[in-house]
Amino acid sequence: MTPAELVGSLHRRGILLVPAGDGRLRYRPREALTEAERAVLVRRRDEILALLEADPIGWRAAVMAAQRPRTGAIPLLIARPGIRFPPGSCCSCGDSLTADDRYRCQACTAAAIAVLGDVP
């Protein structure tokens, strides 16, 4: 199975893969992966990270879309939930901000807009 096929298969099953920003690969829900899938993620981590980073808006939008409730108030959409970021970095993913960015990097802003654009 190629990295793209694995990422697609996991996504269709509702499993989110997120590049942690420090060379690690995060996924949730953790219990949804088989031991064989975990082994493939470990063995092909660099290829999967490169695949996800090739589409910086796509993986962010997928993570954010999973946070959007079907009804009610929409929470702050975060690309890397559960991680604390230092001042001067994107509040959503932790990447460095440019002089034109205030709270979110351009990729997270575009992903949030894409996700919110799907709200009925």
pLDDT in tens, 33-78: 889 888 988 999 999 999 888 889 988 998 898 888 888 898 999 9
User: Looking at residue 79, what is its pLDDT?
Assistant: 92
**Conformation bin of residue 80: beta by default, left when phi > 0, alpha when psi is -120 to 50:** beta
Name the residue with tokens 């980073």.
Answer: 53
Q: What is the mean pLDDT of residues 74-89?
A: 88
% of the chain residues with pLDDT over 70: 98
Domain count of the chain?
Answer: 2
User: What value does the mean pLDDT of the chain take?
Assistant: 87
**39 phi/psi in degrees, rounded to 5:** -65, -40
The overall pTM is greater than 0.85: no
Q: For residue 55, give the 3-state DSSP assignment.
A: coil
Which of these three, 54, 73, 97, is where a domain ends? 54
Pair (22, 79) in one structural domain = no
Pair (23, 62) in one structural domain = no
Pair (11, 60) in one structural domain = no
| 111 or 66, greater pLDDT | 111
Q: Which domain holds residue 16?
A: 1-54
Pair (74, 40) in one structural domain = no
Spell out where 1-120 has E strands.
16-19, 25-28
